[in-house]
Amino acid sequence: MVLGSLKTDYLVVGSGAVGMAFADVLLSETDADVVIVDKYPKPGGHWNVAYPFVTLHQPSAFYGVSSRELSKGTIDEIGLNKGLNELASGAEVSAYFEKVMREQFLPSGRVRYFPMCEYMGNGYFTSMLTGAEYHVEVTRKMVDATYLNTTVPATHTPNFSIAEGIRFMPLNDLPKVAAPPKGFVVIGGGKTGIDACLWLLENNVNPDNICWIMPRDAWFLDRKNTQPSEDFFEATVGAQANQMESIAKSTSKDDMFKRLEDTGVFLRLDQNVWPEMFHGATISHLELAELQRIKQVIRMGRVTSIEPEQIVLERGSIPTGSGYLHIDCSASALTNLEIKPVFSGNVITPQTVRSYQPAFSAAFIAHVEATYPEDEKNALCGVVPLPNSTDDWIRLMVAFMTNQYIWGQNPEIRAWLLENRLDGFTSLMANVQDNETDKKAVLARLRSNAMPAMEKLTTYLAEINASTSI
C-alpha cells in the first residue's frame, strides 16, 4: 500500500559522492526540485560503513561537491603523506557530506531527502524503519547514482571458504584487536590491502609478522603527481608531460609501462615483479618504502580456502593456524564494470567520464544535463572505463584523451572546467604566465606529444582487441 505520493523533477537514488556531486550542480545551475533516496542513515554512501582509519588516497581538493571545499588547504607535516596536500579521513568526509545536506541542500527548499529507504524501482521506495511505501512521479529524469556499486570490507562476503576456529575479520575490525596474534595475514593486494599493511606498520607491528597475500601486483600512481597547488606544478603537469612523452616514444606495451615507470608516472612494489593489475591506487614514496619492509609477500593467486592448518591458493598453499589473524581485504571497490550510456531516455546513469575522479564526473554529467540538448549529451560524456588490468589502463587513456579533446573544442565547457573546483588541473595550466618559461616548456612538451601518444595508444588497443577476439 502506497502511503506517500511525491512529485519531483529529478529522483536521485544514492546520496554517496556521486549522487551528492550530481545534485549539487543541479541545484547550482537549474531551478529543479530533487528527491534523494538512500539506504544509509546519513549522506556519504559507503563512507557510512568505511573502516575507521580510512582516508582519501588523493588530495581532498579533488573530492566532494563543486560548491563546497573539502580541503583545508594544508600540507601534511608528519606521517607517510608528509610534504603533500592533506588527505581527508573517513570521519571528515562523512561529516562533510552531512553538512552539505543539512546546510545547503535542505535549506534550499528544493531537496527532499529520504535516508534509510530502499529503492524498489519504477519510482517506488520503502522506509526500512517503518515499512511505509512511497511513490515518486518524476517529471524529468531518474538518476541512478548507485550503478558503480561501491563495496567495502564491512559488507563484503569472501568468495572462499573459512574453516571453523580460524581467526578471520574484515578490515573494519582491525582496531578492535585486544591481544597480539602469532602473526597477521592480509588477504588482498588492492587499496584496502595497502591500507591494512600501512596501519599495522604505523602501529609498530614487526613487518616480519605480516604475511601479505597478493594475487596480482599493481602499478601505482605517485601521489606527488596529483597535487592541485601551484607549488607542485612541475610534479603534476610535468608528470602529465612525461606520460604523453613516454607513450609517444614507446615501441611496445611493455616498453611503454617501463618508460612510464622510469619517468616517475608509475611506481611498483617490487622491481623483480612485473605488474599485471592497475586499479588507480595512489601512494606516496614514504608509503611505498614502508610496504617494501614486508618480505612475506605471497604471489600464488587468489585464496580458495582457509583450512585449519593451511591457506590454499590458486597456485599452491602456505601454512597457517588459529594463532594467526586473517584480515579480509579482498573486496573490489567497484564491482560493476559494464559500461552503459550515461543518458538513456529518462534515466541518467553517472559513470566516470574522467579517470580516477567519480565526484568530478558526476558534477560534469549534471552540468551537461543542465546545459545541452538531449542529442548532444552522450557525445560529451563518453564513459572512461574502470580499470582492472594493465590493458584496461590503455582503454582508460584512450577514452580519457578523447573526452579531453572534445571538451577542449567547446568554449562553454572550457570555461566551466576553469571555474569548477573539482577540476583543479585546468586552472593550474591556464594560469601560466608568459614569463614563466620553465612552465611553458612543460606545457609545450605535453601538447606536442599528445597526438603521437594517442596514435600509439590506439595502435596498442587495436592489438589488444585483435588478440581477445581470436
Note the pTM of the prediction, 2 decimals.
0.95
The pLDDT confidence band at residue 4, using thresholds 50, 70 and 90, is: confident
Does residue 156 carry a pLDDT above 90? no
Segment 331-335 shows an average pLDDT of 64
**pLDDT 10s digits, 372-426:** 999 999 999 999 999 999 999 999 999 999 999 999 999 999 999 999 999 978 8
Segment 160-172 shows an average pLDDT of 95
For residues 219 and 276, the answer to whether their CB atoms sit within 8 Å is no
The CA distance from 372 to 353, in Å, is 16
For residues 291 and 200, the answer to whether their CB atoms sit within 8 Å is no
The CA distance from 126 to 133, in Å, is 4
- Give me Rg for the CA atoms of the chain: 23
Segment 3-7 shows an average pLDDT of 86
The helix/strand/coil state of 251 is: coil
**pLDDT 10s digits, 243-262:** 999 999 999 999 999 999 99
**pLDDT 10s digits, 281-324:** 999 999 999 999 999 999 999 999 999 999 999 999 999 999 99
The pLDDT confidence band at residue 329, using thresholds 50, 70 and 90, is: very high
Burial class (CB in 10 A: 0-12, 13-18, 19+), 347: middle
For residues 370 and 166, the answer to whether their CB atoms sit within 8 Å is no
Segment 10-28 shows an average pLDDT of 98
Residues 6 or more apart whose Cβ sits within 8 Å of residue 282:
57, 58, 220, 221, 222, 223, 226, 356
Segment 261-284 shows an average pLDDT of 96
Segment 194-219 shows an average pLDDT of 97
- What the block records as the C-alpha cell of 20 is 551528492
Packing angle of the helix pair 437-468, 253-262 (nearest 10 deg): 150
List phi, psi (to 5°) of 131. 80, 0
Question: How does the average pLDDT of the chain come out, rounded?
Answer: 94
- Comparing C-alpha atoms, which of 112, 102, 104, 172 is closest to residue 138? 112
**Whole-number pLDDT of residue 243:** 98
- What the block records as the C-alpha cell of 213 is 597475500
Judged by average pLDDT, the poorest of 88-102, 136-150, 407-421 is: 136-150
Judged by average pLDDT, the poorest of 81-95, 152-166, 203-217 is: 152-166
The CA distance from 173 to 169, in Å, is 6
Does residue 32 carry a pLDDT above 90? yes
Helices within 90-136 (DSSP H only): 90-100
Q: What does the chain come to in residues?
A: 470
The pLDDT confidence band at residue 12, using thresholds 50, 70 and 90, is: very high
What are the boundaries of each domain within the chain? Answer: 2-149+334-389, 397-468
Q: Looking at domain 2-149+334-389, does it have CATH number 3.50.50.60?
A: yes
The CA distance from 209 to 229, in Å, is 39
The pLDDT confidence band at residue 331, using thresholds 50, 70 and 90, is: confident
**pLDDT 10s digits, 439-460:** 999 999 999 999 999 999 999 9
**pLDDT 10s digits, 110-136:** 999 999 999 999 999 999 999 999 999
Does residue 469 carry a pLDDT above 70? no
The pLDDT confidence band at residue 335, using thresholds 50, 70 and 90, is: low
Which residues face 312 on adjacent strands?
Answer: 305, 317
The CA distance from 123 to 38, in Å, is 13
**Whole-number pLDDT of residue 152:** 66
Residues 6 or more apart whose Cβ sits within 8 Å of residue 391:
253, 464
**Whole-number pLDDT of residue 146:** 94
